[in-house]
Structure 1
Amino acid sequence: MTSPLSDMLENAEWGKFRIGDLFEKIQTIKLPFKADELPKQKTEEYTLPCLTSSFRNQGLNYFVPRKEATILKNVISIPSNSDVYRAYFQSNEFTVLSDAYAIKWNFNDIDLSPNQYLFVVQCINKVTDLSIYSYKNKLGGWNVVKNKKIHLPVKNRKIDFDFMENFIATLESERIKKLDTYLSITGLDNCILTLEEQKVLDDFDNGNIDWGEFNLEKLFGKATRGKRLKSADRIEGSLPFVTAGEAEEGVSAFIGNAVTVFSSNTTTIDMFGSAKYRNYEYGGDDHVAVVHTEKLPKHAAIFVTASIHKSSYTGKFDYGRNFYAKDADELNISLPQKNNKPNYYLMTILLSAIHKLVVKDVIGYIEKKHYKSGI
């Protein structure tokens, strides 16, 4: 049985279009800043998100002053020097800082809606966001991307904008219904804070939590390094294989090779210093260090992962200077403490509270969408 979305795609007529005929690159004022000099949170002066090649948060991880910046909105951004060349629709105000650029729709008589932009972005990603491209094998900038061709739905030999609008609206409605059902079945729709959770949140907000600095090796023993497994030697299977990178959380393949299997509830740190929590068993290559947090409660392990990431993912590590297991052993992280020991119980309560707040926001989003669509 096929879904309505599959039927829509199968029954559509498609045409091929050169990206440079549909979009043009936006010229922006070059700003006199380096990313590592900028705040990652808004300040009184630095209020405008700026675009870099980062995969995280759609490339918007720093802030610059609005003065003299080229302010953009409702356009598409694309990295020009990255490990992942994923395009995004940027619906809010931002500016371009480095290693990325923005493109806008080329025709003044037609304004693309947010849904239509979202559809086109995915079509662009089918020719740019490919695993063959990386820092070592760059996609190239606009001079390359503008000549690539994408497929778009057509009607009477013209782009079918109504199809794009309806497809995204149908997709959103379907995903919201599934999410609503999932939250209800799993019991995750319970977002009422306990008195203990509210108190821990209040203590956190008011700076009443006691923090200490701890060495990773002393907490969890020596980190373990994965082993190299070339792409050509990988056998198809069901075990997630973790490598360096942000795409798919670093899972580059599912393998059936006989490799070391790392436990769930552990933390990986890749060659760039990016830490990720793993709630499943997995294998890892030699660019991945594993911190053995498996004995911790789940929420405490997630908290530790966030603390590790804050200490390790600072821009210090790159292709020229990789993060290794020995770097994990030397890493010091900040954690809530009690009697000079990590307070894992408090971490668990705090993460449980944050989880409920996130779910509450998701439920609010679902209810808002239901109200607008009359579901």
Structure 2
Amino acid sequence: MSKLNSYLVATGLKDYTLTAKEQKALIDFEQAEFKEFKVTDIFDVNNSKSILSRDIIADSGTTPYLCASADNNAVSTYIAYDKQHIDTGNCVFIGGKTFVVTYQEHDFYSNDSHNLILHLKDAEKSKSNQLYLATCVKKGLSHKYSWGDSISNRKIQKDIISLPVKNEQPDYAIMETLISAMKKLVIKDVILYVNNKTQQYSPNILNNSSEARPL
């Protein structure tokens, strides 16, 4: 409980109270205006570099080694390798053969050159707005791609996604606010659980109650 509580504080997740701006964004979302955009109007799209799994040593470093798995945000392990093969993070990453879509905060190595890297154009690249965009890419295109018909750089050039807009342009500010609100809604139950357990198993209670048992 102590470690989890420290993590919540360090990551800024301890406060789950919605601001007035976040509440309004959630209420107004159903009436928000959306517009379709070509993926390539929003992102610069490139294929990742490639390092075969047989050529790496697992847990040999601190740089993420990505695969096309949905587990652990597509991170297979952390490695040390030739820096010439590194790809730039702060991007949306698509597993080319599986269509697993994730946000990658840090620079990384990739296991397959079929994987796609999407770098946001013409906007501040924050973690929150790219989490929103990654979800839009996943929800908007997942009906098209599978193992039998995998995505590619050539195919994505024609794809479109739907985004909230303001003055006919992507509204990155509302994306940021919505993701902030969603984080708080998701983490609220965890924080309440931690607070409850911390009180339940505090030293004072343990010293005064024969029924209290450690987790």
TM-score range, shorter chain: 0.7 to 0.9
On the 8 A contact 1:273/1:314 being kept in 2, the answer is no
Residues 87-102 of structure 1 correspond to what in structure 2 (within 5 A)?
none
Change (3 A) 1:309 1:183: same
Is 1:230 equivalent to 2:52 in the alignment? yes
What is the percent sequence identity of the aligned residues? 29
TM-score (ref. length: structure 1)? 0.48
1:208 maps onto 2:31 in alignment: yes
Moved more, 275-284 or 236-245: 236-245
The structure 1 residue matched to 2:87, chosen from 254, 258, 262, is: 262
Partner of 1:275: 101
* Mapping 1:170-209, distance limit 5 Å: 176-204=1-29, 207-209=30-32
Per-residue deviation, residues 81-138 of structure 1 (Å, max 9, x unmatched): xxxxxxxxxxxxxxxxxxxxxxxxxxxxxxxxxxxxxxxxxxxxxxxxxxxxxxxxxx
Whether the aligned pair in 2 keeps the contact of 1:268 and 1:291 (CA below 8 Å) is yes
1:218 aligns with 2:47: no
* 3-state DSSP of counterpart to 2:136: helix
CA RMSD, 1 decimal = 2.1
Larger helix proportion of the pair: 2
Gaps of 5+ in 2: 203-215
Whether contact under 8 Å (1:224, 1:290) holds in the other structure is: yes
CA radius of gyration, larger in: 1
C-alpha change, 1:186 and 1:233, in structure 2 (3 Å) is: closer
The answer to whether the 8 Å contact 1:210/1:336 transfers is: yes
Contact 2:63 2:109 in 1 (8 A): yes
Task: Name the residue aligned to 1:89.
Answer: none
Write the distance in 2 (CA, Å) between the matches of 1:186 and 1:258: 29
> 2:133 aligned with 1:304, yes or no?
yes
Report how far residue 315 of structure 1 moved. 6.6
| Counterpart Cα distance in 2 of 1:353 and 1:188 | 11
Please say if 1:242 is aligned against 2:40.
Answer: no
* TM norm structure 2: 0.80
Are residue 288 (structure 1) and residue 132 (structure 2) matched? no
- The CA distance in 2 between the partners of 1:374 and 1:230, in whole Å, is 48
Distance 2:46 2:131 in 1: 18
Corresponding residue to 2:145 among 316, 323, 330 = 316
* Residue 348 of structure 1: aligned partner: 176
- Aligned positions, number: 195
TM superposition shift of 1:227: 3.0
Measure how far apart 1:340 and its partner are.
Answer: 1.3
| 1:28-39 matched pairs, under 5 angstroms | none
Shift of 1:232: 2.6
Structure 1 range deviating more: 356-365 or 250-259: 250-259
- Provide the residue aligned with 1:50 in structure 2: none
Runs of 4+ residues deviating >6 angstroms: none
Ranked by relative contact order (alpha carbons within 8 Å, sequence separation 6 or more), the top structure is 2
Q: Quick check: 1:274–1:313 contact (8 Å CA) kept in 2? A: no
